[in-house]
């Protein structure tokens, strides 16, 4: 497997406001990348732009998957091509059972040419696979009958996202703060699950503030985002430095990006980690 996701000079605006100002990033299948940066620097924006959120307008630059331009693709085309994003705040879909949702999603992603109305993966076959994945991730089997994310705790939502990732087995996964809002035990479980499901089996882009997640999933590359650009890229030692010392050095080293970051935050207090 030698897939490659390449982001070149990406500029993204939301409601006419520029957020990303020229992002370059290249990921290969099997690699783990950490994406770090202070609040408002554009990390989630990058994730959502790659996933194809319609409100995130790409004004310049490109996203290619295995050399194919996907910049203009709808989110579902990207999903079928192997792009996945675990959301920071997944939405609830009342009345739709998790198992039914995942069966439809899994069928579409595995059979990218499937037309609407064509058969889904046979129920028995799907249930069996789902059950084994849920056991592997230590998720209660009752989960499958509950409505998608409806009334889920923070931890349950994040685990449901990891389960979805496991079922869809994408080429590239963006994990947007999959550790936020979790207690220490839940972070540990989520980290171990990501390692088990994703490590070496896909390209991982982990957006996080937490060292636990990276401890279980040591990145080959750490990217630091500030003011809508990736200002520095290093190895796992960079992630450790940022975790231990914060973004002070980064802010000082890249005053232009820091100014852009402050501008994007508007009058809000600059948050630091």
Residue of 188, 204, 106, 98 lying closest to 148 (CA atoms): 98
DSSP letters for 186-254 = HHHHHHHHHHHHHTTTSEEEEE-S-HHHHHHS--SEEEEEETTEEEEEE-HHHHHHHHHHTTHHHHHH-
Please report how close the Cβ of residue 237 comes to other proteins at its closest, in angstroms: 33
Task: Pick one of 51, 186, 195, 265: the residue that binds other proteins (CB under 8 A).
Answer: 51
CA–CA separation, 239 vs 148, rounded Å?
A: 34
DSSP letters for 43-103 = HHHHHHHHHT-TTEEEEEEEEEETTEE-TT--HHHHHHHTEEEE-SSPPPEEEEEHHHHHH
Size of the site for other proteins (CB under 8 A): 31
- Based on the shown chain and the rule CB under 8 A, indicate whether residue 168 belongs to the binding site for other proteins: yes
Site string for other proteins, 98-137 (x = CB under 8 A): ---x--xxxxxx------x---------------------
- Based on the shown chain and the rule CB under 8 A, indicate whether residue 74 belongs to the binding site for other proteins: yes
Choices 50-58, 136-144, 205-213, 224-232 (CB under 8 A): range interacting with other proteins? 50-58
Please report how close the Cβ of residue 49 comes to other proteins at its closest, in angstroms: 12
- Based on the shown chain and the rule CB under 8 A, indicate whether residue 147 belongs to the binding site for other proteins: yes
- Based on the shown chain and the rule CB under 8 A, indicate whether residue 67 belongs to the binding site for other proteins: no
Site string for other proteins, 196-235 (x = CB under 8 A): ----------------------------------------
- Based on the shown chain and the rule CB under 8 A, indicate whether residue 95 belongs to the binding site for other proteins: yes
- Based on the shown chain and the rule CB under 8 A, indicate whether residue 163 belongs to the binding site for other proteins: no
- Based on the shown chain and the rule CB under 8 A, indicate whether residue 76 belongs to the binding site for other proteins: yes
DSSP letters for 106-168 = HHHHHSTTPPTTSPPSPHHHHHHHHHHHHHHTT--GGGGGSEETTT--HHHHHHHHHHHHHHH
Would you tell me which residues interact with other proteins (CB under 8 A)?
51-55, 74-76, 78-80, 84-85, 87, 90-91, 93-96, 101, 104-109, 116, 147, 164, 168
């Amino acid at each position: 497997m030698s897939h490659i996701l390449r982001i070149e000079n990406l500029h993204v605006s939301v409601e006419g406001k520029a957020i990303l100002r020229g992002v370059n990033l290249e990921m290969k299948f099997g690699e783990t990348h950490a994406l770090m940066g202070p609040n408002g620097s554009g990390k989630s924006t990058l994730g959502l732009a790659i996933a194809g959120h319609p409100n995130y307008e790409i004004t310049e630059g490109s996203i290619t998957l295995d050399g194919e331009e996907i910049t203009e693709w709808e989110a579902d085309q990207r999903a079928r091509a192997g792009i996945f994003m675990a959301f920071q705040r997944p939405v609830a879909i009342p009345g739709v059972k998790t198992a039914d949702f995942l069966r439809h999603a899994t069928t579409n992603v595995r059979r990218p040419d499937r037309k609407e109305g064509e058969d889904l993966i046979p129920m028995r076959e799907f249930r069996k696979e789902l059950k084994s994945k849920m056991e592997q991730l230590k998720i209660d089997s009752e989960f499958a009958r509950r409505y998608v994310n409806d009334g889920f705790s923070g931890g349950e939502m994040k685990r449901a996202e990891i389960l979805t990732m496991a079922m869809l087995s994408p080429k590239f996964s963006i994990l947007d703060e999959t550790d936020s809002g979790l207690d220490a035990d839940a972070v540990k479980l989520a980290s171990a699950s990501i390692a088990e499901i994703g490590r070496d089996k896909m390209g991982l882009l982990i957006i996080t503030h937490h060292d636990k997640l990276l401890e279980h999933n040591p990145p080959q590359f750490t990217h630091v985002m500030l003011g809508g650009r990736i200002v520095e890229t290093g190895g796992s030692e960079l992630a450790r430095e940022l975790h231990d010392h914060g973004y002070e050095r980064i802010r000082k080293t890249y005053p232009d990006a820091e100014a852009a970051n402050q501008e994007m935050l508007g009058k809000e207090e600059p948050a630091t980690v």
